[in-house]
């Protein structure tokens, strides 16, 4: 499945959750959704999406947060899996695995084709993990994976896109923060 196809399924299933995009998903998600609950974490230090998502989920326990993280971002901060397991909250970490560092030139990432992100999440203590390697499987399993209490890790195997550049967020960070705060009823 392509990354866009994977995100189209999410767009149909997201409900009222906050969606936090990182790296390559920032280029695609704004084409599918432009809700105040969308937050595009660019520029980001690779791997920081789960920590930000956990903070949002703990601050907004009735809402839930979907984090769109790449495989490279996940490898940069494997400890975040242990943190998510240790601080239960409605966090749905979607790992978009294309085996590449897409936005830095398409270099193969370490362990491409060998790392089992679902097994890593279970070993870290996350009970609910899902793996989908086809669009049909993801379409059939998305509603279950994105329901119920978190934390949840969803490992999506997607096609790589070569030659992608670091995407730009559709609006400045300060505007995104204000927009999200207003949507959540939080005073800045």
CA atoms within 13 A on the CB side of 111: 11
In order of their start, the domains of the chain are 3-184 (3.40.50.970)
Segment 13-56, tens digit of pLDDT: 999 999 998 877 777 888 899 999 998 876 666 777 899 999 99
Q: Are 78 and 48 in contact (CB under 8 A)?
A: no
Mean confidence (pLDDT) of the chain: 85
Phi and psi dihedrals of 155, rounded to 5?
A: -100, 115
Q: What is the mean pLDDT of residues 120-135?
A: 96
Separation CA 120–CA 29 (nearest Å): 26
Token pair in block for residue 37: 């609950």
Residues 6+ away with beta carbon under 8 Å from 12: 142
pLDDT above 80 for 123: yes
> Residue 124's CB: how many other CB atoms inside 10 A?
19
pLDDT above 70 for 130: yes
Residues 6+ away with beta carbon under 8 Å from 161: 3, 24, 98, 102, 106
Segment 66-95, tens digit of pLDDT: 999 988 778 888 889 999 999 989 999 999
Give the model's pLDDT for residue 159.
77
């Amino acid at each position: 499945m392509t990354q866009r196809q994977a995100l189209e399924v999410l767009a149909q299933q997201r409900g009222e959750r906050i969606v936090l995009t990182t790296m390559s998903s920032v280029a695609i998600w704004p084409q599918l959704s432009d809700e105040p609950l969308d937050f595009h974490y660019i520029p980001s230090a690779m791997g920081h999406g789960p920590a930000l998502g956990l903070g949002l989920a703990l601050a907004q326990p009735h809402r839930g947060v979907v984090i769109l993280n790449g495989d490279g971002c996940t490898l940069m901060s494997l400890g975040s899996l242990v943190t998510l397991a240790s601080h239960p909250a409605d966090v749905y970490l979607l790992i978009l695995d294309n085996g590449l560092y897409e936005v830095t030139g398409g270099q193969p990432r370490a362990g491409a084709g060998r790392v089992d992100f679902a097994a890593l999440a279970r070993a870290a203590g996350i009970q609910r993990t899902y793996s989908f390697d086809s669009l049909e499987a993801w379409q059939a399993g998305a509603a279950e994976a994105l329901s119920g209490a978190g934390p949840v890790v969803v490992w999506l195997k997607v096609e790589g896109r070569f030659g992608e550049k670091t995407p730009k967020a559709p609006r400045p960070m300060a505007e995104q923060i204000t927009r999200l705060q207003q949507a959540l009823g939080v005073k800045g």
